[in-house]
Amino acid sequence: MHDSHVHSIFSDDGMEAVEDVAGKAVALGCDYVAITDHLNRDYKILGYDNPELNLSAYLGEMQRFKSRYADKIRLATGIELGYMKSANSLYMKDLRGKNFDVIINSVHCVLGSEVYFAEYFNKCPYKHFAYLEYLKAVRESLDAPYDYDIVGHIGYIQRNAPYKEPDMYYDEFAEIFDDILRTIVKKDKCLEVNSKTYRGAQKSSDFARRHLSVPDVDVLRRYRELGGNKISFGSDAHRADNLCYNYDAVAKAMKDIGFKGFTRYYNRKPELVKF
């Protein structure tokens, strides 16, 4: 097992010290874990008062733990950028001269609001509008001028959506999904399979199948059809107990779709871990 999307105490919403994440990963038998703490210039621009990542302290700490754990596990130094067009130049500056192993580009903020908060949905007249605006932002994020490896958690908006039926169906948004998936293939990026968003929700077998990950299996199947072969596994754990959440079930579903394995990054280079 391995995990390409994990948070530590360096994220404002993270709960675990880097060594506790690494220790848990070793205990689970992982040979690789990427710590990908949040760098949220989007939050700062929008005026959210979450504490910001201390980038140099984070990089220093990761360097120390990398060598300390070198004989037990490969610790990758990652970062999760909160994409927003007006933050592009800040991220360009942040990334310059830094040696990350893996960079995740994620959309959290759309129309000036974090889509986890009710304020976003209050701005939207109905569900289709809210989701389409989110997907347009995801499409835009693919053209970010900075270099990134993984497209984070497409479908994150469903997590806290106030709708009775929050699912985002491929069929309803086929045109923009195809544009997004084709662009990921064309740019040779990696699509994240994020096992967190619907964690714990298992009302029926069909519900469980659909909600194994974001994006869901229908989107992932379409990605494969369009020539996509790079997918990463990310639990998006904010506490060590959720590391590698549902890895086996997600891996099996991806194998059934026809993917050869998960791709992970070290020193910004992709490596395929076959199923």
Q: Please report, for residues 107, 138, 143, 174, the alpha-carbon distance to residue 131 in angstroms, rounded to integers and kept in the order given.
A: 12, 11, 19, 12
Q: Confirm or reject binding of residue 106 to Zn ion (CB under 5 A).
A: yes
| CB 7 to Zn ion: min, Å | 6
Distance CA 51, CA 13 (A): 9
| CB 108 to Zn ion: min, Å | 6
Q: Give the binding range for Zn ion (CB under 5 A) out of 19-27, 75-83, 204-212, 239-247.
A: 75-83
Distance CA 81, CA 78 (A): 10
How many residues at the interface with Zn ion, by CB under 5 A?
3
Among residues 38 and 222, whose Cβ is nearest to Zn ion? 38
Residue 234: how many other CB atoms lie within 10 Å: 30
| CB 244 to Zn ion: min, Å | 15
CB-based contact 251:275 (threshold 8 Å): yes
CB-based contact 1:29 (threshold 8 Å): yes
Q: Give the binding range for Zn ion (CB under 5 A) out of 99-107, 116-124, 183-191, 248-256.
A: 99-107
Among residues 30 and 34, whose Cβ is nearest to Zn ion? 34
Among residues 16 and 236, whose Cβ is nearest to Zn ion? 236
Going by their DSSP bridges, the two strands 150-151 and 113-114 should be labelled as unpaired
Q: Confirm or reject binding of residue 141 to Zn ion (CB under 5 A).
A: no
Among residues 221 and 265, whose Cβ is nearest to Zn ion? 265
Q: Give the binding range for Zn ion (CB under 5 A) out of 41-49, 172-180, 223-231, 232-240.
A: 232-240
Q: Confirm or reject binding of residue 232 to Zn ion (CB under 5 A).
A: no
Residue of 77, 109, 236, 259 that binds Zn ion (CB under 5 A): 236
Among residues 101 and 236, whose Cβ is nearest to Zn ion? 236
Nearest Cα neighbor of 166 from 209, 219, 207, 137 is 207
Tokens encoding 3? 């995990």
Among residues 159 and 209, whose Cβ is nearest to Zn ion? 159
| CB 238 to Zn ion: min, Å | 8
Among residues 81 and 124, whose Cβ is nearest to Zn ion? 81
| CB 89 to Zn ion: min, Å | 21
Contact positions vs Zn ion (CB under 5 A): 80, 106, 236
